[in-house]
Amino acid sequence: MAKNENLNSAAKNKNDEFYTQFDDIQRELNCYLDYDKNVFRDKTILLPCDDPVYSNFTKFFALNFDFYGLKKLISTSYAPNSKKFIFQPMANLFDEESPVFDASKENSHGKLYTLDRESIKTKPYPVDAVKLDRYLDGDGDFRSKEVSKLRDEADVIITNPPFSLFRQFLKWIMDANKKFLIIGNINCITYSEVFPLIKENKIWLGHGMGRWISGFIVPEGYELYGTEARINKYGERIVATNQCLWLTNLEQGKRHRPITFNTMAENIKFCRHKDVKGKSILYAKYDNYDAIEVPYTDLIPCDYEGVMGVPITFLDKYCPEQFEIVGATESEGKGFSNGLWDSDSTSAQATVNGKKVYKRIFIRHRQK
Ligand SMILES: C[S@@+](CC[C@H](N)C(=O)[O-])C[C@H]1O[C@@H](n2cnc3c(N)ncnc32)[C@H](O)[C@@H]1O
């Protein structure tokens, strides 16, 4: 393997060990509760790819078990020996008190933790009542038969899955037709496994993206550098990526709130984006797509009836009652443009006067 390839996969696999902050989980989850206070009532929630001892997901749902009216919480961990990078202490002192604790399986097996309506009554604090139920037969790989069986038993699947297996993870959920809420990279929007589902309104972005997710916990040994690294109020080591989003098929209110836009003439006159103000690129017809270029979401004209190319971050503001998603640039997937692409063109990326623009999604206003 080439040296660079090694480094790339190392970087990728390290990202698999980014852990989610409690406050970020809380901020996102509150939005679903605001929309429907019974969203999790009588539901079994599965938290796979977790490490219940360290995971804020497990802690968060245990603390809210009664408030949410949950039926059962299931959380599974991935064996330390199977992880590409181990940042955490291998031994878990907390589990040593469990009657099923087996030191010989600690590093090689995944673990299954549960909390239900009966067991929550056994301890004064709900988090203490989360118990190590048993070791899994295998390492806790979400693709295994035993974890897939837990998936089938669950109503909702919630986690921050390994970034390097994101596509497989989403497919694993969709194959079982489950409700879910997961974290992914912003670029996942245009994956061939993701975009068609967004276009068909089967899945959508959660409440927040980018800075809304304020950073991930990285364990000791992960080098912190640059302005994007810090220690949070709990003393946890944080890297902020500004590159992530929540993806879901749970309803939330924000996506049903239409946004008010100016007319094309107003935008041309009052545009606040200096890089495009007065430039021919603004609203130019693409060389190779039957659509016009809208370089910023806030510049979508309210009075244009044709197809517009917008940045992928538009989806953060997407209201399906207001806009129809027509497609995306062919560079993201064959056939994605829904016939808008000039197939004689040598570029699958959209161009204006020969100059390539970044990834674009094609939309149009819904007819009133
Ligand atoms: C991005 S981290 C998130 C951890 C935790 N869910 C959280 O948000 O704090 C993903 C976790 O999945 C684990 N993992 C990696 N590959 C896995 C697999 N094939 N099956 C299950 N878990 C896996 C990683 O070791 C890591 O602990």
pLDDT tens column, 190-246: 999 999 999 999 999 999 898 899 899 987 777 777 667 888 888 888 988 889 999
pLDDT in tens, 101-118: 999 999 999 999 999 999
Q: Are 93 and 82 in contact (CB under 8 A)?
A: no
Q: Is 293 in the pocket of ligand 1 (CB under 6 A)?
A: no
Residue that wins the pLDDT comparison between 365 and 52 = 365
Domain ranges of the chain: 3-253, 264-365
Instruction: Specify which residues 19 forms β-bridges with.
Output: 217
The kind and range of the H/E element at 357 are: none
Q: Is 51 in the pocket of ligand 1 (CB under 6 A)?
A: yes
Taking the centre of ligand 1 as the mean of its atom positions, its distance from the CA of residue 131, in whole angstroms, is 20
Taking the centre of ligand 1 as the mean of its atom positions, its distance from the CA of residue 294, in whole angstroms, is 37
Residue reference for tokens 């570029």: 347
pLDDT in tens, 194-206: 999 999 999 999 9
Residue 311 CA, distance from chain mean position: 18
Phi-psi region of 356 (alpha: psi -120 to 50; beta: other; left: phi over 0): beta
Q: Is 20 in the pocket of ligand 1 (CB under 6 A)?
A: yes
Mean pLDDT for 144-157 is: 98
Instruction: Specify which residues 182 forms β-bridges with.
Output: 159, 247
List of residues 6+ apart from 82 with CB closer than 8 A: 139, 140, 141
Q: Is 17 in the pocket of ligand 1 (CB under 6 A)?
A: yes
- CA-nearest residue for atom 9, ligand 1, is 19
Q: pLDDT averaged over the chain? A: 90
How confident is residue 13, by pLDDT bands cut at 50, 70 and 90? low
CA distance 132 to 97: 10
Q: Is 18 in the pocket of ligand 1 (CB under 6 A)?
A: yes
**Predicted pLDDT at 98:** 87
Mean pLDDT for 70-95 is: 78
Closest ligand 1 atom, CA of 84?
Answer: 25
Q: How large is the greatest C-alpha to C-alpha distance in the chain, in angstroms?
A: 72
Q: Are 316 and 244 in contact (CB under 8 A)?
A: no
Closest ligand 1 atom, CA of 56?
Answer: 9
**Predicted pLDDT at 12:** 55
Query: Of the residues 18, 78, 241, which should be mutated to test ligand 1's pocket, given the most ligand atoms within 8 Å of the CB?
Result: 78
Q: Are 116 and 75 in contact (CB under 8 A)?
A: no
